[in-house]
Structure 1
Amino acid sequence: MQTKRSYIIVFLVFTFITSLTSFDLLQAQQDDKFVVVIDAGHGGGDPGNLGNGHKEKDIALKIALEVGKALENNNDIKIIYTRKKDVFIELYERANIANKADADLFVSIHCNAHSSQAYGTETFVLGEKNTGRNFEVAKRENEVIFLEENYEENYAGFDPSSPESTIAIGIEQEVYVEQSIVLARKIEDNFIGKSKRKSRGLKQASLLVIRNTYMPSVLVEVGFLTNKREGAYLNSKKGQSSMANAIKDAIINYKKELDQNIGTNIVGLNGELPGSVQELTQVYDGVTFKVQIAASSKNLAPKSYNFNGLTDITKDKVGNLYKYFYGKTSDYIKANQLLQEAKTKGYTSSFVVAYKNGEKVDVSDVLKSTTN
């Protein structure tokens, strides 16, 4: 009898340990998921724009929920919503939700408005280009803070009507702008190719809702409710499903490309390239390419032990941030090899930047010039 009781105790202990192990494995798998925060603009006492009698807050929520529901079918993706019902969420809290979740993407969904019959989609990333209509969009979206009780404390005296204020908010998210542009471009391309909508393009503006998100972030304007025809389309189930699918497919495609750049079997790093490829160069006189791997308020020594074994680290202080770079070369092909090396070391959000005469310049402008 004693022996039988011992077997039962051993069995129960084994079962308990096994269940804990299974839970830990499940938790680890969940932690490894690609986290996307879907933000439905406005809500509660903030209806957004009311073009042609439609409510932006309702349409944005329906599209956001449909995007999230479609993405939840992917076992590798975890969806977090800033709101799933008609409630008001402060702008700073929307960013906090994403940051606390250590999200990989933040996508805020809105509907546009204009005094004319303008129509078409626009996707915004953070930037300082607040001239003309971009500033008007930023001003309209940012004025939501006046509905918050402690807006002066939460936004340190920020004035949505001041172009100077909007310029000042871009620094925190600057490191992620290029990745944000990649996603924004995919979204707009899908609006054109899959939803058959007119695209007004990719824009940059100082938008509070994405200023403090520490991941690639975009604000999507799915169309103009003030345009009678487009407003009716966005208020329809067909229109909402079409726009949601375009956004969902862009996110999946973005993740797929990101996954392809992660791992240890990247050509050029772990094996010899064919001689003809090894000899290719793309050198630009007077230009220095670097790989930006991080930006932080922490002042770290540029030593390999602080950067996962990477050497040749440099840093620049910009405002309150320290930007960290890996390598330097005038050869754009070499720069991309450095980029892949950085990504294999865990810096999956790194990207190539360019400098000329000590000033930062757009890589795209450099590539338009003639190589040496």
Structure 2
Amino acid sequence: MRTNGVFLFVCFIIVLTFSSFVNIEENKPSKKFVVVLDAGHGGKDPGNLGNGYREKDIALKIVLAVGKELEKNPNIKVIYTRKTDVFVDLFVRGKIANKANADLFVSIHCDSHTSQAYGAGTFVLGTHRNQTNFEVAKKENSVIFLEDDYEKNYAGFDPNSPESVMSILLSQEEYLDQSIQLAGLIQNNFANKLKRKNRKVKQAGFIVLHQTVMPSVLVELGFLTNKREGAYLNSKAGQNEMSIAIRDAILEYKNTIDKNVTDFNSIAENDQPIQEIANNVKFKVQIAASSKELDTKPYNFKGLETISRQKEGNLYKYFYGNTISYEDAKTLEEEAKKKGYTTCFIVAYKDEKKIPLIDALKSTAN
């Protein structure tokens, strides 16, 4: 009888221990999606003062409204570069995002012009397509002259020099695809949902975007110098509409990322291993996207060899490796990440045509 009692006690302890392990695993918090919201200007830097409105105030109000909405999602963590009327150096804004290991960086601004120009636009870091884009970036970048030790912090960067601006562009290239994706979602909401004039997604050399190491965009909400648009952006209704449009775009971007991960895991967790390809499917690792056509030599890609280049629209995309084995592609991806391409990802091609990775994986699972 005593033996049975001991046996039952041991079984109870084993079950209790196992249950605790299961609960620990179930309750283990997953990494939240981190969004850094950056209200342009602030403190001694008012931004533009079109029609008497203050850019720094409007940008802050919209940032706080976007953040308040995003914080309702328990899987999102919002970090602000400023929540009050204070001056924050541009390089510090980037440091805040990098230290947080953010998934997105969104900087909010308002535009100005000597004419009655109007409309909303979203920028990603890149080559100036024209003098107008350069002038927009120059206005925002000139804030560094208000900072202490700006020459030291920006290594001689001159906002007034196109050559100086061009020199900062390559650092963000590996995030360009994702940045353009988010910018496109924001612009789609501005143009289609709010019927704002669509100034489209553009590239320019904003130094605040250069300081970050994650997908990053800069939103120009509209022109305070335009009487009608300035009044709209200064109104509570206008600020609410613009903040909801930005919130929805960020959520849509996050949902797309989450869906890709879920679809991938559903294939990767299949009981049967992924087999070698016998149907003309090959895998590569995309490491960068650029508006520049670079020579595919190792010195341009941190020593990586077997680099290929493909033009898609206005962008040149750069890939590392070329293999029929998905397992080998994963090894290549790890090698690229160790070299510093932390956001690289695997892509699939069939008969030299790009196909969704999920379709390639499905075709190889037997």
Q: TM-score range by the shorter chain?
A: 0.7 to 0.9
**Hey, what does 1:83 align to over in structure 2?**
82
In the alignment, structure 1 residue 261 sits paired with structure 2 residue 281:
no
Aligned pairs for 1:17-28 within 5 A:
none
Q: For residue 211 of structure 2, give the secondary structure of its aligned residue in structure 1.
A: coil
How far apart are 1:334 and its partner, in Å? Answer: 5.1
Distance verdict in 2 for CA 1:158–1:238, change over 3 Å: same
User: 1: distance between equivalents of 2:327 and 2:87?
Assistant: 42
How far apart are 1:119 and its partner, in Å? Answer: 0.2
**After superposition, what is the alpha-carbon deviation per residue over 1:214-269, rounded to whole angstroms, capped at 9, x for unaligned?**
11000000000000000000000000000000000000000001101003455699
In the alignment, structure 1 residue 291 sits paired with structure 2 residue 285:
yes
User: 1: distance between equivalents of 2:125 and 2:253?
Assistant: 18
Distance verdict in 2 for CA 1:171–1:146, change over 3 Å: same
How far apart are 1:311 and its partner, in Å? Answer: 5.0
How far apart are 1:32 and its partner, in Å? Answer: 0.7
Q: For residue 84 of structure 2, give the secondary structure of its aligned residue in structure 1.
A: coil
Distance verdict in 2 for CA 1:308–1:134, change over 3 Å: farther
Distance verdict in 2 for CA 1:165–1:130, change over 3 Å: farther
Residue type of the partner of 1:292? Q
Residue type of the partner of 2:259? Q
**Hey, what does 2:15 align to over in structure 1?**
none
**Hey, what does 2:193 align to over in structure 1?**
194
**Hey, what does 2:357 align to over in structure 1?**
337
User: 2: distance between equivalents of 1:269 and 1:332?
Assistant: 28
How far apart are 1:327 and its partner, in Å? Answer: 7.1
How far apart are 1:147 and its partner, in Å? Answer: 0.4
Distance verdict in 2 for CA 1:162–1:321, change over 3 Å: farther
Distance verdict in 2 for CA 1:183–1:197, change over 3 Å: same
4+ residue runs of structure 1 moved beyond 6 angstroms?
294-298, 300-304, 314-317, 320-325, 338-341
How far apart are 1:77 and its partner, in Å? Answer: 0.5
**Hey, what does 2:44 align to over in structure 1?**
45
Distance verdict in 2 for CA 1:88–1:114, change over 3 Å: same
Residue type of the partner of 1:336? P
**Hey, what does 1:211 align to over in structure 2?**
210
User: 2: distance between equivalents of 1:93 and 1:123?
Assistant: 22
**Hey, what does 2:10 align to over in structure 1?**
none
Distance verdict in 2 for CA 1:50–1:267, change over 3 Å: same
Conservation of the 8 A alpha-carbon contact between 2:174 and 2:341: no
User: 2: distance between equivalents of 1:261 and 1:38?
Assistant: 24
Aligned pairs for 1:109-124 within 5 A:
109-124=108-123
**Hey, what does 1:231 align to over in structure 2?**
230
Distance verdict in 2 for CA 1:169–1:25, change over 3 Å: farther
Identity %: 56
User: 2: distance between equivalents of 1:107 and 1:122?
Assistant: 13
Unaligned runs of 5+ in 1: 1-17, 273-277, 342-372
Residue type of the partner of 2:329? L
Residue type of the partner of 1:193? N
Unaligned runs of 5+ in 2: 1-19, 273-277, 290-299, 306-319, 362-366
How far apart are 1:289 and its partner, in Å? Answer: 8.6
Distance verdict in 2 for CA 1:270–1:316, change over 3 Å: closer
Residue type of the partner of 1:93? V
How far apart are 1:132 and its partner, in Å? Answer: 1.3
Residue type of the partner of 1:253? E
Q: For residue 200 of structure 2, give the secondary structure of its aligned residue in structure 1.
A: strand
User: 2: distance between equivalents of 1:308 and 1:105?
Assistant: 29
Number of residue-to-residue matches in the alignment:
305
User: 2: distance between equivalents of 1:94 and 1:142?
Assistant: 13
Q: For residue 85 of structure 1, give the secondary structure of its aligned residue in structure 2.
A: coil
How far apart are 1:103 and its partner, in Å? Answer: 0.3
User: 2: distance between equivalents of 1:224 and 1:42?
Assistant: 16
User: 2: distance between equivalents of 1:337 and 1:246?
Assistant: 30
How far apart are 1:291 and its partner, in Å? Answer: 3.1
User: 1: distance between equivalents of 2:178 and 2:347?
Assistant: 20
How far apart are 1:171 and its partner, in Å? Answer: 1.1
**Hey, what does 2:125 align to over in structure 1?**
126
User: 2: distance between equivalents of 1:104 and 1:252?
Assistant: 12
Conservation of the 8 A alpha-carbon contact between 1:119 and 1:230: yes
